[in-house]
Structures are given as structure tokens and as C-alpha cells.
Structure 1
Amino acid sequence: MSRRREISRRLEALSYIAGIMSAMKGLALMEVRILTDFLASQQRMVAGIEAAAVDFLAWHPEFANVPVAGQELCVLIGSEQGFCGDFNEALLARMETLCAEKNTPLRWVIVGRRLASRMGERDCVDLALPGAIVADEVPAVLLRLTRELSRLLAGSELAGYGLSALYHCAASGEIRLRRLLPLRDFPTPERAYPYPAELNLSPEEFLQGLTGHYLHAALNEVLYSSLMAENRQRQAHMDRALQRLDEDSARLRINYNTQRQEEITEEIEVILLSADMLNEAEEHSLEAAPIGVLQAGMLERQ
């Protein structure tokens, strides 16, 4: 009985855990649907800014520059929550690879406390910021991130550094290293028009404003893309976990039924054994009784 009760308690615990995981899977699916519209809108905005930057650089190639190799401030975007498989571990492995490839160690800004806790203390990490759990928290995360990046890049230590982002890309499903500043890695500029666009600002002022808009829009897209990839991976992780829970529950139910059948068999055996003992006791009592008593008993029955 105690073994069957233990199995019953384990089945109840697995059912409770499965309920929690199903709820987490539902929340992840809901976030993916919300982020789909947000990300599509943000991608259109970034594409428009990039098209304007390509046209500008086609007529002003003197502003197209690339930072010195290795002098790069990279934003590493991980998860704020767990239960997303190897989401953070894959980012850390890619980070180690990039640091080993560069002649000069990269500087890093970490977004996501779950990722920062796995990283520990490192000299190359300048700052760790909390990330977004849901889509509604992305604007606040973006505001903190842009403020801190402006402060770091304005300092003398990181003067002249480029800015990149390393994150899980929702479109490709892979980890992407995206160059952000200075404006680069765009398609080869082609002069689609015979004359340059008329600017109301000087080229320097226009580029400064364009860079600010592009950084804000691109980082927003990166955060939305990483959060969508995280929720997709969490959904897949919950699917695998629920499948394993179903397998464990099925195996425990078989053990539970087996234990119950064994207990029923034991109860039947006890009942049969008790009946046999009663019959034997009656036979012994009849054999031991005097003949007169037996005759009297028969007469009474008649």
C-alpha cells in the first residue's frame, strides 16, 4: 500500500508540474504572436532608414568608415528568464569564439540578468543591464541601453570604438553578429539618381541625426528579435519537457496499476486462505465431537 501511495503522490506532483509548464508554454506562444506584429513594423522602419543611409553614402563616401579591428563595443543580448534551453549557453560560446578571434579583446555590455549570472566576473564586461520579460518592457530596456551606450562611447576609454550586437535572430534562428555603428555592412551603394538628394542640413548634421534614428530603430529590432527567439525556444523547450512528463506519467501509471493488481491478488489470496482455514477448523471440530452430540444435532435439524 505504501508503494502505491508513493506512486500516487508522484503522479500528482507530475500533474502539477505539467500544469505549470503548459501555462508557461501558452504565455510563450502568446508573446510570439504579439512580437510578430511589433517586429515586422520595426523591420520596415529599419529598412527605410538603411535605404536612406545607402543613398546618402553613395554621394558622400567620405563618411563611410570602419573602426579599427578589435576596437568594438558589443551588446550581448541574453534572457531575463530561464526555461529556454541552451539560449544563453550558445551566446556565451559564440562570445568566447569572437574574443579568441580578435587581436584586441572586445568590450561587452550584457543585457539579461540570467545571462549575466552565468557569465560571472570578467574584465571585458563593462556593464550588465536587466532585459525584457515581455514585449511591453522592451521600450524601457531600450531607453536604459541607449543611455548607457551613449555614456560609454562618449568616454575617453572607448573613444573611436564601433558598436555591434550579438543576439539570437528570430528570422534565421541563428546567432547573429550585427554591426551597428558606424553605418556599415549595407548593400553596395548604387547611385540610383543622377543627382544627390537635396538636404536641408549639412551632411555632417544629417549623418548625425540619421545615425541616432538608426541606432534607436536597430536596437529596438534587435531586442524584439531576441525576445521572440527566446520565447520560441522556451515554447520548444516546454514541448520537450511536457513530452518527457507524459512518458514518466504513463510509466508511473503502469507501475501504479501493477501495484494495485498485486494488492488485489494478495487480498484475494488472504480471503481464500481464510476460507480454507475456516473449513478445516469446522472439519476438525466435527471429527472431534462425540457421536451423541452429532445425533442430537441431526435430530434438531430434522
Structure 2
Amino acid sequence: MKVKKQKRHRRAVRFYTACFGFREPFKVLCDGTFVYHLLANHITPADTALANILGATVKIFTTRCVLAELKSLGDSYSDSLNAAHNLITAIDSVKCDHDKRKSAVACITEVIGEKNPEHFFVATQDAELRRKLQEIPGVPVIYALRNSLFLERPSGFQHQFAKIAEEERSHMNEWEYKLSKLKKKVAIEEAADASDANESNEDHMLDTRVVKANIKRDGTNVKDQVQFKRKKAKGPNPLSCKKKKTDGNKNASSEKESKIVDNTMRSRSRKRKRSRKSKNVPAATV
């Protein structure tokens, strides 16, 4: 359940950042009911709890009318009043210059205006205020249930407003159409001038080449086409041919062979045949 809630919150934050231009750090405008609920359920520190559900750093604001309303409720809301005093009072960034104290609902509704130009996240427990803020485009609402904080899903009216705004941005008005048409015309003329300049440069270069060629022909009587000499067939490669056998080599080889034969004959003739006497010869008589 916790993972699904985080995904839903991230999806809602992406919707407001993409369609209405919300940027970090996010500004959260709190009323007295929300501050009281945070203290009653020990959801502290408030900036850390809000940063966890929005996934970014936050700055917390309130108004003078909210502080005055908490003060008028008596001692039972003194802790809430002190906690609200610790928040940054958005006097400079939010125009809350009411001479007479207004209710928190009326004050916050007036601060938000018709299009929420300050890009506030509004944190409240007031059901009436939440209902009013859903009818204003680009106003995300934060509320609490027990010890958990929730970011409301964008309403159908806000989705429809974002869709219409996107379609208007995609279509050009009459002035933008004329401007784009003028830009196209200027681009076409510049391209035509550039092509003419390139053609004139090419013609000039071609003329200079022709003049140089004519001058060279007149001065040296060089033919137009170079005549290449054909290579004539030469003899075979001497390295790839076998060596010829000469007569001297044959005589030398025959002499070597005759010497080898004579040596073998001599070696055979030197061997002596030994006669072996038989062991059974009788001894000579005296």
C-alpha cells in the first residue's frame, strides 16, 4: 500500500510540474487546521514529512489571517499558534494586507487567485477549502489522515484545463503565423542568393582553368592527351629458370664415380682370407 501511495504522489507531482510549471523547492501554504493536526498526531518536523510525500525540498508558509484566527480560538490552540509563528510568514511573497481579519478560507482563496501564480501547494484539513481549490487550475492540495499525509489527485477540471492549454500552445496565432511565413521567405531568398554566388564562383574558376590550359598549349606545344608507352615483353626471369648442365660438370661427376669404385675395390682386395684349422685333427706321432 505504501509503494502505491508513493507512486500516486510522484505521478501527481509530475503532472503539476509538467503542466503548470512547479519547481523545486516547493512552497507549501498551510492553514491553522493543518498545523493543529500535525501537532495533535506528532507529525514532526513538518518540513521533513512534507518533503517525503513530495520527493523534494519544501518551504512552509502561512498568512497573517491564519495566525489571527488561531489566536482568536483561545488557549486550547496556543501550541498551534506557537508552531504557526515558527513557520515562515509569507508577507513578502504573498500579499496578505487585509486591514480587517478575514477567515483562513477567504484569505487563502484570495492569495491563490484564479491561476495560482506563486505555485503554492495548499495544506489544509478544511473540506470546504479543499472543494474550492479543486475548481482552480494548478492548485495541488495536501491533507492528513491520522499520522499520514496525502496529496490529492488532480481533479477532472484540472486535467481538462491542462489539455486545453496544451492544444492552445500547439496552435499558432495570426501574428506567429505571419512571422513564420516571413522567416521562410527570407530563408528562401538567402538560399537563392547563396546558390547564385556559388554558380558565379564556379564559372569564374572554369574560365581561369581554360585560359591557363590555352596558355600552356601555346607555349610548349603539349598534346591534349598524354601518350603512354606500352611495356614490351622481356625475357624470362633468370631466377625462375633451372641452371644448365655443362660437360665439365659431367666429366667431374664421372671422375668422382670412378674414384669411388677404385677405393671400394682396393678395400675389398686388402682383406685376407684366414684358413681355420679343424679342432678334430689328430696329433702327430713321434
State the TM-score, normalized to the length of structure 2: 0.27
With a CA cutoff of 8 Å and minimum separation of 6, indicate the structure with the bigger relative contact order. Answer: 1
State the TM-score, normalized to the length of structure 1: 0.25
Whichever of the two has the greater Rg, that structure is: 2
